[in-house]
Chains A and B, each alone.
Chain A
Amino acid sequence: MSATLRACWALAVANGRITATDRKGRLIICLGYLLGMWLLYWLWQGLYQDDPQRAGLSFARALLHVVTAQTLFAIITTGADWRLAREIRSGEVASQLTQPMNLPLRHGALSLGVAGAKALYMLPAFGVFLLWSGLSLTPASWPLALLSVLCSFSLLYSLGFMVGLAGFLATDLWGITASKDAVVQFLGGALIPLAFFPPTIQAILTWLPFAHFFNTPVGYLTGELTSPQALYLQLAWVVVFWGLAQLAGRWVQRKLIVFGA
């Protein structure tokens, strides 16, 4: 077990270092991120110009929700789906399977490295934007909020891993990854807060995994959520998604045929 954890750590650190290598790229990404947040600020300000309260949220609360969710999306989207599909199509996955490490765990470690590296250079940019816009994160409990962010990463990664397995079915992965990103962002509350949805749909989304991709961690980070009830539900979905990813991984290994080196 400790050997597996050490291997995971080594993979995460190595992939994180690769992600963080390109200094010019990081700088441009941070500037692009700040530009995107600035544009969102004006879009939401325009929306609130005639009405200071919409869907029970003030401008500041709605904007804080959206920018936090978008930042979370930018950090925890790690390209696990594309990486796995590429490995399947090139046959590289065969050599990964010879290593004494579970496939979903291996990709999970690589994704954690990417997310960690992205957090290192994007969180300061997020801080700059919060400072400029006069917003701040006020979680009731930082440990709950961070645990919820970790669960959100696990959910998104597991889904990405399962989507990556579509590399077996399709040669063009754009359709399925675009569908996944659109659905989790829209129904997860990253594009607009779930408070803007009709109450019945909000209630359904809270029980389904969707709200736990972004709405739950953002709720803890912004102080909208204080009780651990939503986190318990999120943890339950993490267990379900992780189990499904393991099952899907095993099923694929039984089907896999690779020719050549």
Chain B
Amino acid sequence: MSAFFTAWRRLALADCKVKLESRADFALIVCGMFFTSVSSGASLYLMLGNAGEIAGYNRYELIFMQGFMFLTYVFESSCCNAMYMLESWLKNGNFVRYYLRPIHPLQMLLLERFHPQGLVVAATGLAFMGFALAHLPGVWSLGFVLQLVVLLPLASITLNAINQMAIASCFFFGEYSPVFHTVGKLTDMSRYPFELFPKLARQVFMLLPLAGIVWWPCQVLLRQQPIWQVAPLMLLIASGSVAALMWLWRTGMQRYAGAGG
């Protein structure tokens, strides 16, 4: 495992150096994050108008949920950018090398590329959460920080596993974009309160791991639900998602018949 982390650290440093050397690239990435986050935050702000509530959640709670969503995305944004290459590797045969190296394929995916864009995503998420917390009296405390530290990695693993499962659909369909876009609509909507949806849909979202991305953690962080009730559930959701992802990759790799490379 130490060999893996040494390789990963070297790769991350090299990738950061290259990306930061190209100032145009980095400036454009910062612009991309700025405009996407500001447009989603401003849309929410304008939608709520003077009343400022949806399904019992006020404007700042909703902004907090958006910020939490950004933070759950940091890991994927920094470390899993290579997942978008999976489809072309399957098509051009480059994927064959995944069978030849003595390392778990998902670990190898992390070794492929590091993207400093994740740092911008983290800054955006923290800014959203900071702004929301400044307007939510009584939420910020040491306990809040500890709960955040426990719940955020679990939510991040869940989101990443869901997205990687969507990408892995290219093992079966040839292309990932139809499934990935469909799943993207669901994960996008998971930053809103599930109380918006009819009861049956809410139960389906609970069964799917979607509730583990933002809704369950925010029940603890904003609604004082005891963490000892939610954390084991989140752990179950995250580990279930990872197990499903690994099963999907194994099935996909057994099915793959590549040539060339």
Contact = CB atoms under 8 A, between A and B. Distances in A.
A68 B226 CA distance: 42
B175 A22 contact: yes
6 contacts: A32-B185, A39-B185, A42-B201, A172-B22, A179-B34, A183-B35
A170 B22 contact: yes
A182 B28 contact: no
B182 A175 contact: no
B198 interface: yes
A7 B28 CA distance: 35
Complex A-B, nearest 6 residue pairs according to Cβ-Cβ distance, in ascending order: A32-B182, A175-B28, A175-B32, A178-B32, A186-B39, A28-B178
A50 B177 contact: no
A205 interface: no
Contact of A32 (B22, B32, B178): B178
B124 to A, nearest CB: 12
Contacts of A18: none
Q: What secondary structure prevails in chain B residues at the interface with A? A: helix
A65 B49 CA distance: 18
B70 to A, nearest CB: 14
A120 to B, nearest CB: 16
A182 B36 CA distance: 5
For B25, B32, B174, B181, which residue has the most chain A Cβ atoms within 10 angstroms?
B32
Given A169-B24, A172-B25, A46 B55 contact: yes
Interface stretch (A110-118, A139-147, A191-199, A225-233): A191-199
A51 B30 CA distance: 38
Interface string B125-156: 00000000000000000000000000000000
A174 interface: yes
Nearest to B179: A28
B174 to A, nearest CB: 7
A25 B35 contact: no
A54 interface: yes
A176 interface: yes
Contact of B182 (A29, A47, A166, A179): A29
Nearest to A176: B28
A225 B46 CA distance: 23
B29 A51 contact: no
A167 B105 CA distance: 31
Nearest to A35: B185
Contact of A25 (B36, B177, B189, B193): B177
Given A166-B28, A175-B29, A54 B198 contact: no
A179 B29 CA distance: 9
B22 to A, nearest CB: 6
B25 A178 contact: no
Given A28-B182, A191-B43, A178 B196 contact: no
B51 interface: yes
B103 interface: no
Interface residues of A, number: 42
A36 interface: yes
B121 to A, nearest CB: 12
A196 B46 contact: yes
A185 interface: yes
A46 B35 contact: no
Contacts of A178: 32-33, 35-36
A174 B30 CA distance: 10
A171 interface: yes
B244 interface: no
Interface in B36-85: 36, 38-40, 42-43, 46-49, 51, 53-55
B32 A29 contact: no
Given A32-B182, A35-B186, A54 B177 contact: no
A32 B181 contact: yes
B55 to A, nearest CB: 5
B197 interface: yes
A31 interface: yes
B95 interface: no
A123 interface: no
A63 B69 CA distance: 25
B256 interface: no
Nearest to A22: B175
A186 B185 contact: no
Contact of B29 (A29, A46, A172): A172
B110 to A, nearest CB: 19
